[in-house]
């Protein structure tokens, strides 16, 4: 954990988030082992080896901000060593939570790059060479962890270079603009991911079942022709083309949205039915943005929201919670250079249908968003007579 630039109150938000994340896994996994590493100019491991969740949470609740630089590479290696000293058969996961880019490296890894800006006890005094050496150190140690079979999940808050998170990750990474967004989107996504992926063990019965948490395909839309029920707001207006939503033949068929800096363009589909045993709703979609255009490419201020809302069982819809609203920002190197996006949400008790709303806001009418496809599936749990969460999972 490092939250330096955001400082003290935000550091407490980071430790609180981490404590909740550890508790969330502890509620789902028996015999969970956890390690924690705080890092600034140096790495501080309160425990030299993995321990139980309660001890780590107690340490997180009492830890205070001390300031310093950002030694990301050292943190990766410290956590890797703790995990590799744990049980060999356990699933190993390494979470990095940071608000900054690497600024510290081992001197011997600098390779002479920092002659003009000498390292002082491993810290970069500034300059692109030092920054590159620090990043190389972090990327090198993240790769070591991945090669050891550790799932690396970087989480950035604020002004973090997302390309670094992508370089370090195994499969998942998250970037939140602030702690409110971190709680709203990252926390629920991580635990929902675990809820659908952790194995369950059953006491055998006369007719044992293997269907404990199975994603059942529900709905899929490709937008090359399957557009029934999708409503665009506003429709294209020849007299005011600044913002609109429409179906487009671009990118093989898509929902196209563009804003004008003040108004959102919206696509919505309501009345989608849920299977009776749906406990978690998984959404996956692919999208593209304009990387070039008359007014420039998709920018950091451009974004879109995806909201999933469940019915109240009485003919209306519940108000969306913060966890049901996901915000997407950032820019790829090419129009469609984004990864498939995934969310998993808990289905409220009594809900039988849901709707989804996509809202885009761009700073120029020339900047566009295309939703290429979107699918929904259910994680349906069939409860056995007795079940136990899988043991032997380790976090650092």
Q: Find the mean pLDDT for residues 273-292.
A: 85
pLDDT for res 15 = 87
Tokens found for residue 269: 């589909």
* Cis peptide upstream of residue 114 (ω within 30 degrees of 0): no
Tokens found for residue 14: 């980071």
**Mean of per-residue pLDDT scores for the chain:** 75
Could you report the per-residue pLDDT of 189-221, keeping only the tens digit for each? 666 555 444 443 333 333 323 333 445 556 777
The verdict on 292 and 352 lying in the same domain is: yes
Is residue 56 assigned to a domain?
A: yes
The verdict on 170 and 100 lying in the same domain is: yes
The verdict on 165 and 243 lying in the same domain is: no
> Which one is predicted more confidently, 92 or 293?
92
Is residue 391 assigned to a domain?
A: no
Residue 292: domain span:
214-380
The verdict on 218 and 156 lying in the same domain is: no
pLDDT band, very low/low/confident/very high, at 237 (cuts 50, 70, 90):
low
Could you report the per-residue pLDDT of 318-354, keeping only the tens digit for each? 998 877 888 887 777 788 888 888 888 888 989 999 9
The region of weakest confidence among 20-24, 103-107, 118-122, 187-191 is 118-122
The verdict on 187 and 229 lying in the same domain is: no
The region of weakest confidence among 80-94, 114-128, 211-225 is 114-128
Q: Residue 67, by phi and psi: left (phi above 0), alpha (psi -120 to 50) or beta?
A: left
pTM: 0.49
Q: Are strands 393-395 and 33-34 parallel, antiparallel or unpaired?
A: parallel
Q: Is the pLDDT of residue 357 over 90?
A: yes
3-state DSSP assignment of residue 284 = strand
Is residue 220 assigned to a domain?
A: yes
User: Cβ(218)–Cβ(199) under 8 Å?
Assistant: no
Is residue 156 assigned to a domain?
A: yes
Q: Find the mean pLDDT for residues 303-325.
A: 89
The verdict on 185 and 245 lying in the same domain is: no
What CATH number is attached to the domain comprising 242? 2.60.120.260
User: Cβ(206)–Cβ(216) under 8 Å?
Assistant: no
Is residue 299 assigned to a domain?
A: yes
**CA-to-CA distance for 396 and 96, rounded, in angstroms?**
9
pLDDT for res 191 = 62
pLDDT for res 163 = 92
Domain count, the chain: 2
Cα 124 to chain center, whole Å? 29
pLDDT for res 317 = 93
Beta strand extents in the chain (DSSP E only): 33-34, 38-39, 43-44, 91-98, 151-157, 174-176, 200-202, 214-221, 231-233, 244-248, 254-258, 265-273, 278-289, 303-310, 325-328, 341-346, 353-361, 369-380, 387-389, 393-395
pLDDT band, very low/low/confident/very high, at 68 (cuts 50, 70, 90):
confident
The verdict on 233 and 85 lying in the same domain is: no
**CA-to-CA distance for 283 and 257, rounded, in angstroms?**
19
The secondary structure of 326-345 as a DSSP string is EEE----SSTT-PPPEEEEE
Is residue 396 assigned to a domain?
A: no
Beta bridge partners of 217: 377
pLDDT for res 218 = 66
The verdict on 373 and 265 lying in the same domain is: yes
Q: Is the pLDDT of residue 293 over 50?
A: yes
The verdict on 91 and 45 lying in the same domain is: yes
pLDDT for res 353 = 93
The verdict on 188 and 285 lying in the same domain is: no
- Report the candidate in 43, 123, 108, 106 with the shortest Cα–Cα distance to residue 79: 43
What CATH number is attached to the domain comprising 170? 3.40.50.410
Is residue 276 assigned to a domain?
A: yes
**CA-to-CA distance for 98 and 157, rounded, in angstroms?**
6
The verdict on 174 and 235 lying in the same domain is: no
Is residue 209 assigned to a domain?
A: no
Q: Find the mean pLDDT for residues 63-92.
A: 82
Domain boundary among 197, 230, 257: 197
pLDDT for res 380 = 63
Side-chain-side CA neighbours of 379 within 13 Å: the count stands at 19
pLDDT for res 37 = 87
Q: Find the mean pLDDT for residues 146-173.
A: 90
Q: Is the pLDDT of residue 388 over 70?
A: no
**CA-to-CA distance for 228 and 346, rounded, in angstroms?**
26
- To which residue do tokens 């671009």 refer? 250
The verdict on 81 and 174 lying in the same domain is: yes
Domain boundary among 197, 229, 254: 197
């Amino acid at each position: 954990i490092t939250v330096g630039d955001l400082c003290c109150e935000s550091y407490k938000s980071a430790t609180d988030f981490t404590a909740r994340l550890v508790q969330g896994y502890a509620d789902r996994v028996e015999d969970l082992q956890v390690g924690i590493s705080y890092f600034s100019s140096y790495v501080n491991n309160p425990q030299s080896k993995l321990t139980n969740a309660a001890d780590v949470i107690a340490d997180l609740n009492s830890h205070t901000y001390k300031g310093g630089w950002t030694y990301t590479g050292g943190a990766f290696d410290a956590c890797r060593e703790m995990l590799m000293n744990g049980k060999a058969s356990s699933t190993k996961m390494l979470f990095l939570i940071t608000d900054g880019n690497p600024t510290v490296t081992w001197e011997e890894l600098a390779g002479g790059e920092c002659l003009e800006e000498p390292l002082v006890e491993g810290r970069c005094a500034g300059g692109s060479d030092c920054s590159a050496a620090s990043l190389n150190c972090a990327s090198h140690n993240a790769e070591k962890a991945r090669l050891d079979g550790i799932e690396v999940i970087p989480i950035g808050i604020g002004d973090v270079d997302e390309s670094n998170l992508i370089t370090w990750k195994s499969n998942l990474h998250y970037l939140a603009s602030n702690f409110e967004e971190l709680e709203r989107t990252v926390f629920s996504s991580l635990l929902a991911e675990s809820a659908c992926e952790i194995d369950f063990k059953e006491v055998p019965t006369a007719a044992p079942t293997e269907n404990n948490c199975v994603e059942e395909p529900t709905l899929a839309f490709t937008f090359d022709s399957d557009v029934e029920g999708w409503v665009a707001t506003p429709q294209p207006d020849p007299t005011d083309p600044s913002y609109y939503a429409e179906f487009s033949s671009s990118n093989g068929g898509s929902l196209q949205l563009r804003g004008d800096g003040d108004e959102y363009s919206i696509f919505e589909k309501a009345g989608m039915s849920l299977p009776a045993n749906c406990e978690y709703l998984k959404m996956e979609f692919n999208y593209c943005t304009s990387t070039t255009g008359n007014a420039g490419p998709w920018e950091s201020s451009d974004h879109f929201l995806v909201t999933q809302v469940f019915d109240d069982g009485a003919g209306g819809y519940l108000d969306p919670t913060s966890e049901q609203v996901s915000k997407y920002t950032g820019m790829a190197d090419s129009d469609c250079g984004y990864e498939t996006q995934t969310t998993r949400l808990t289905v409220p008790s009594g809900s039988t249908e849901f709707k989804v709303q996509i809202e885009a806001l761009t700073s120029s009418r020339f900047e566009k968003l295309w939703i290429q496809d979107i699918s929904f599936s259910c994680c349906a749990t069939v409860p056995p007579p007795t079940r136990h969460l899988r043991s032997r999972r380790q976090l650092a």
